């Protein structure tokens, strides 16, 4: 996996997580599969498309259908055909073929199951418990954005693990006291 990034902090995080980091200009020549997740426009632009290998696959997992410059891809193509549901093949003038998934839209929502029920149940539980928390603490919370309290995340995680038949360890009273002694 190669990461391309404009944010130096995120680039460093990727390096420290063991990923290779380089500019998109170079990655375009090396990659077989390109997945955008930026929230920005033309992250994959004409100059990148021109360098991609024959058979490269393009997908967007980030933001609307603007991360991949589809207009440029269409202008470079001499032929476009749907090779299977959610997969368009763009044959370029030089014979290379690039494959665009889900019309450049959010691939996990358009061409897959979206968010699986195993994930959505946790999201809905988290939202419901957060609404309960806000209601119970009405008048006590500052008017600002609040993170979900850790206790709610832990409750949802614990319930999900239980439903999956997964057991985890618990801290002993001695361990709890020790952690509290140096965190305070």
Give pLDDT tens digits for 57-95: 999 999 889 999 999 999 999 999 999 999 999 999 999
Looking at the domain covering 31-110, what would its CATH class be? Answer: alpha beta
Residue 114 pLDDT level (bands cut at 50, 70, 90): low
Residue 24 pLDDT level (bands cut at 50, 70, 90): very high
Alpha helices per DSSP H over 38-149: 46-49, 70-76, 107-110, 117-136
Give pLDDT tens digits for 136-167: 999 999 999 999 999 999 999 999 999 999 99
Q: What residue ranges in the chain does DSSP mark as E strands?
A: 2-3, 20-21, 33-36, 57-60, 77-84, 87-92, 97-101
Q: Which two tokens stand for residue 82?
A: 């749907």
pTM: 0.70
Residue 116 pLDDT level (bands cut at 50, 70, 90): confident
Average pLDDT for 110-136: 89
Residue 118 pLDDT level (bands cut at 50, 70, 90): confident
In angstroms, the Cα distances linking 29 to 3, 6, 22, 47, 121 are 13, 18, 11, 11, 40
* Ramachandran area for residue 64 (φ above 0: left; ψ -120 to 50: alpha; else beta): left
> 68 with 45: CB under 8 angstroms?
no
Q: Which helix (H) or strand (E) holds 30?
A: helix 24-30
> 75 with 50: CB under 8 angstroms?
no
- The contacts of residue 76 (CB under 8 Å, 6+ apart) are 46, 49, 50, 90, 92, 93
Task: List the domain boundaries for the chain.
Answer: 31-110, 117-183
């Amino acid at each position: 996996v190669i990461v391309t990034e404009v944010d130096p902090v995120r680039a460093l995080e990727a390096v420290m997580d063991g990923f290779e980091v380089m500019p998109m200009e170079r990655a375009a020549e090396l990659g077989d599969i390109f997945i955008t997740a930026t929230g920005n426009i033309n992250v994959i632009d004409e100059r990148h498309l021109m360098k991609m290998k024959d058979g490269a696959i393009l997908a967007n997992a980030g933001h609307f259908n603007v991360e991949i410059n589809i207009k440029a891809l269409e202008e470079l193509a001499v032929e476009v055909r749907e090779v299977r549901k959610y997969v368009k093949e763009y044959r370029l003038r030089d014979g290379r073929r690039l494959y665009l998934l889900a019309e450049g839209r959010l691939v996990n929502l358009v061409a897959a199951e979206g968010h699986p029920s195993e994930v959505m149940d946790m999201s809905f539980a988290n939202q419901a418990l957060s609404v309960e928390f806000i209601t119970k603490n009405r008048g006590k919370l500052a008017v600002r954005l609040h993170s979900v309290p850790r206790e709610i995340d832990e409750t949802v995680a614990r319930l999900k693990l239980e439903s999956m038949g997964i057991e985890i360890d618990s801290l002993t009273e001695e361990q709890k006291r020790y952690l509290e002694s140096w965190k305070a």
